[in-house]
Structure 1
Amino acid sequence: MDKVATVRNAGRRIVRAAQYLRMSKEHQTYSIDNQKDAIRNYADIMGYDIVATYEDAGRSGLNLGGRPGLQQMLADVESGRAEFETVVVYDVSRWGRFQNIDESAAYEYRCQMAGVRIEFCAEQFANDGSVGSDVLKAIKRSMAAEHSRMLSQKTFIGQARLIRLGFRQGGKPGLGLRRQIMDHSGRPKLILSEHEQKSVHTDRTILVPGPPEEVATVRWIFRQFVKTHMRELEMARLLNKRGVLTDLGRPWKRETVRGVLTNEKYVGTNVWNKRSRKLKAKAVNNPPEQWVRAEGAFEPIVDRKLFERAQVIHKTLYSHMSVTNEEMLAALKKVLARRGALSTSIIDAAPDCPAASLYHHRFGSLLKSYELIGYQPPRNWQFVTSKKRLASVRTQAIEDLLAAIGRAGGKAAYDRESDVFRINDEFTVAIEIARCCASDYGYPFWSLDTQRQSLADIFTLIRMSPGDLVIRDYLIAPMSEIIGKSELRAHNGAQLDTYLFPTLTPLTRLAERASAENILWA
């Protein structure tokens, strides 16, 4: 006879209960299996029948975000769908390590108001609402929160120590640099590729010079900037015209040029903690006095005197970067009074006004900046601005592709009437761009119209990321595979997703020319 039947025969009412399980990456004591065992034993003693399980494996307990198990449980309880009257949790820390203990209490209170009790099977108090129980529970909540704060502080101290020793702590190496593993005795091991991570806990990572062509590009950027005082946007356009890509294989933008010109890693200095996000709080920019630095940590690829001259010039050209929010809005008002209207191009063209991208960074969006100075843009402003930006991205992608095909020995001609490209007089390519839209349920999708381009052999769609500021990927597929389709989703099945690529390189390879001699000897 099973245990539930034994309890029933003893005349006790069977209580339908759910179990909530959570584990981050802390300690084996809190493994999901251990929690299940403890809850099962507790349920046997109490006469509970576990009818539902909510689980957050590998999830932080600092907040509700990122915990679908707890969110689903709260939704079921408050909607009346829950077929249980009690939720059993291993202990208070598994419920959460909320930094505000009132938040922890709030979620428990929401369950209680819906008629569902929360019980902690491993705690030495009964969660019965008595004064003693509430006091002990409040202490436990504070201890759970303090544990996370202490762990965060210890982690920070350890990471800062490694930075001062010259080791890298996360992040992409950047153009012209690569990550190299060092073993526990300081001997160099292999160079990591883009998506590789170290596998031995005691190994450390340093930065070393990357491919010669990338190093040459970085040095050229600094020399060109110091020599010509060229603006970042002009530098980005020049790099794109030359067919040079960033370390991520993308076209250059104003921000990526600035990221190279102002980064001290190129002179061998290890800098960390410029920006931090502790305990799942909002990320903040830290003042320079909180940065952790180590000079001479890496082999430099840019001369220090050249780097310092570049910083002086950059500071002079972009002195407005340090202006206050009030000064930025005042400058925007002056431009509005002078021009009578505002747009990204108008702002960027004004020499006495910060760049439009800085307003987006400071205030969250350009539209918010307009609201703060009382400017009401035309009703179709956002659509027109987005359309112009997408057209510019498409034009830039086409120019980059044509340049890459030329370097590969191929040739491409544009037929303005049909809006398609003929490559090597062999096949045609249609290139379109699609903004990222969201469905009623929040899932992204991209609309496409293949009717106008039905004469092309290959259809290429540039898919933008949410916000339509960054390219997500490229669909490069035979027209026969997508004709008649009206939209793409994030996941479209293996047959169609096979044609998704991070760059337009597949088209370049199709256009490559090889000499007859190489073909004969291949």
Structure 2
Amino acid sequence: MSTDHQKYSTENQAEIIAAYAGRRNFQIVRNYADEGRSGLNIAGRDSLKRLIEDVRSGAADFEAILVYDISRWGRFQDADESAYYEFICRERGINIHYCAEQFDNDGSLPSNVMKSIKRVMAGEYSRELSGKVFTGQCRLITLGYRQGGPAGYGLRRFLVNENNEPKAPLARGEHKSLQTDRVILVPGPEEEIETVSRIYKLFILEHRSEREIATILNGEGRTTDLGKPWTHAVIRQILSNEKYIGNNVYNRVSFKLKQKRVVNDTDMWVRGDGVFEGIVDPALFEAAQTIFAQRARRFSNEELLKMLSDLLACRGVLSGMIINEVEEMPSSAAYRHRFGSLLRAYELIGYQPSRDYRYVETNRQLRLMHPEVVAETIAGIEAIGGSVTSNASNDLLLVNHEVTLAFVISRCQSTAAGSLRWKVRLDTSLRPDVTVVVRLNPDNKTVKDYYLLPWLDIGHKPKLGMAEDNGINLDSFRTDDLSPLFHLLRRHTLEGPL
């Protein structure tokens, strides 16, 4: 049953099924009901999945399955899917009875023909209904009514009646109860509106990135309307969504009949411009979109290097800061992403910095790698059922409220003789229970191995020098991956008397 407002309520179905069972001398031993679920696919139908699993596993203690009609078995868009689930049951000697149909599901030719037609009709009904609903929703969008989804920071949902007269604000999780009512967006609390305006000014006038803006707001102790910290994605959504200038935009993404999620081209979007009160100046919004468009422009390698050469000819020197100061140029990060490093880009235009910046590039690579290693470790610990909290000030992890972990990434250096060396500096002030040392390969981009150093044995030493072979006292803590760490942190059940 997909909604309560239809003849297919589970109570009505149960009455018809009970009457059918009485006429056939069946005893109903178990009920499977998917209330408030669509029959388009099996994904959200937990009861149907449980029914099929009971049949497959041999746990079914019944000889027949009674269904109201073919559409309640499912409005699958592929009629063969409906037949497949019925075949699974019939293969194990359990027949399906469609109680409200005008034919018996006895395997005869007329029965099979009617059943096939009804399956196709059930799927076609959903397709036709989907088209009608979509047309109605598009009309409501152009009139300024909201079609689902949260309002967003700085905005709120408000309920109006069929005459567009205000009724009441809607809190998060609340929905309209009357079919004739509509939902519109209205400006939210003044404090949130001021914050939205400030986000636009930081982005446009001060050239702050989304991540920098999020850091500023989090540093001030501010949270989103959901009470969560600010992120790059939340800031980007505020800067790019047209609802902040009063436009209602629909059909950016299609997920019709729950088949495939499709990102639509802009010419397929349904719009209602200026249909409710915006909280952002349209000029500021357009300026933000211009910045996004400039970012998205795809320059060729030749164009990037030409701009870099022109900048060198103008300034005489190059650096990441100098590149970032030129508004019409891509950022230094774009050059690193395209050519692997700034030094490689400099080399391609024949520029040799007066200083050797290879060490700087390696340091930058280590800074980028550190959060990735920490995130992968947290995911691994959570995958085994552990809990992890991170100290933002020092990146120290607390696992299961018991064990602390610190991470050190050690670059690889080659001696004049060609041997490999690693220098490890440990922060003894943190006193972590285990320090995870990540040794890099000579390219200083990929991981060679790990050392799990306990504080009691080694962690208290401020510096360690490592070679390719370090003897049993140190190499006994070496591992090719972090699976031993996850095994160490996994909780194990104690059996027997304590």
Answer whether contact 1:274 1:291 (CA < 8 A) is retained: yes
Give the Å deviation of 1:383. 5.5
Answer whether contact 1:42 1:121 (CA < 8 A) is retained: yes
Aligned: 1:185 with 2:148: no
Give the Å deviation of 1:117. 1.0
TM-superposition CA deviations, 1:114-158 (whole Å, max 9, x none): 111111121112212122111110100011111111121111111
Give the Å deviation of 1:289. 1.3
Give the Å deviation of 1:384. 4.1
Aligned amino acid, residue 86 of structure 1: A
TM-superposition CA deviations, 1:303-350 (whole Å, max 9, x none): 111211111112212436x99xxxxxxxxxxxxxxxxxxxxxxxx955
Question: 1 CA distance for matches of 2:376 and 2:187?
Answer: 39
Aligned amino acid, residue 99 of structure 1: Q
Counterpart in 2 of 1:84?
Answer: 62
**Unaligned segments of structure 2, at least 5 residues:** 301-331, 339-369, 382-386, 406-488, 492-498
Aligned amino acid, residue 216 of structure 2: L
Aligned: 1:93 with 2:71: yes
Counterpart in 1 of 2:409?
Answer: none
Answer whether contact 2:391 2:397 (CA < 8 A) is retained: no
Aligned amino acid, residue 337 of structure 2: C
Alignment of 1:356-367 (within 5 A): none
The SS at the match of 2:337 is coil
Counterpart in 2 of 1:386?
Answer: 376
Counterpart in 2 of 1:353?
Answer: 337
TM-superposition CA deviations, 1:157-215 (whole Å, max 9, x none): 11111110011111111121111222222222322233333333322121111111111
Question: Which of 219, 239, 242 is residue 220 of structure 2 equivalent to?
Answer: 242
Structure 1 pair 204–60 and aligned structure 2 pair: CA distance change class (3 A): same
Give the Å deviation of 1:78. 1.7
Counterpart in 1 of 2:105?
Answer: 127
Counterpart in 2 of 1:476?
Answer: none
Question: Which of 258, 261, 276 is residue 298 of structure 1 equivalent to?
Answer: 276
Structure 1 pair 304–352 and aligned structure 2 pair: CA distance change class (3 A): farther
Structure 1 pair 81–197 and aligned structure 2 pair: CA distance change class (3 A): closer
Answer whether contact 1:177 1:207 (CA < 8 A) is retained: yes
Answer whether contact 2:398 2:404 (CA < 8 A) is retained: no
Aligned amino acid, residue 272 of structure 1: Y
Question: Which of 319, 342, 352 is residue 297 of structure 2 equivalent to?
Answer: 319
Question: 2 CA distance for matches of 1:106 and 1:450?
Answer: 51
Counterpart in 2 of 1:282?
Answer: 260
Answer whether contact 2:397 2:404 (CA < 8 A) is retained: no
Aligned: 1:103 with 2:43: no
Question: Which of 401, 404, 420 is residue 448 of structure 1 equivalent to?
Answer: 401
The SS at the match of 1:221 is helix
The SS at the match of 1:310 is helix
Structure 1 pair 122–253 and aligned structure 2 pair: CA distance change class (3 A): same
Larger radius of gyration: 2
Structure 1 pair 388–47 and aligned structure 2 pair: CA distance change class (3 A): closer
Counterpart in 2 of 1:73?
Answer: 51
Question: Which of 11, 24, 30 is residue 52 of structure 1 equivalent to?
Answer: 30
Answer whether contact 2:185 2:276 (CA < 8 A) is retained: yes
Query: TM-score if structure 1 supplies the norm length?
Result: 0.59
Answer whether contact 1:271 1:291 (CA < 8 A) is retained: yes
The SS at the match of 1:48 is coil
Aligned: 1:157 with 2:157: no
Structure 1 pair 258–50 and aligned structure 2 pair: CA distance change class (3 A): same
Question: 2 CA distance for matches of 1:130 and 1:35?
Answer: 26
Give the Å deviation of 1:382. 7.1
Question: 1 CA distance for matches of 2:232 and 2:137?
Answer: 31
Aligned amino acid, residue 122 of structure 1: A
**Unaligned segments of structure 1, at least 5 residues:** 1-22, 324-347, 355-379, 399-415, 420-430, 435-446, 453-485, 489-522
The SS at the match of 1:260 is helix
Question: 2 CA distance for matches of 1:395 and 1:381?
Answer: 13
Segments ≥4 residues shifted beyond 6 Å: 388-393
Aligned amino acid, residue 376 of structure 2: S
Answer whether contact 2:247 2:274 (CA < 8 A) is retained: yes
Answer whether contact 1:229 1:313 (CA < 8 A) is retained: no
Question: 2 CA distance for matches of 1:169 and 1:279?
Answer: 17
Structure 1 pair 261–381 and aligned structure 2 pair: CA distance change class (3 A): closer
Counterpart in 1 of 2:230?
Answer: 252
Structure 1 pair 66–433 and aligned structure 2 pair: CA distance change class (3 A): farther
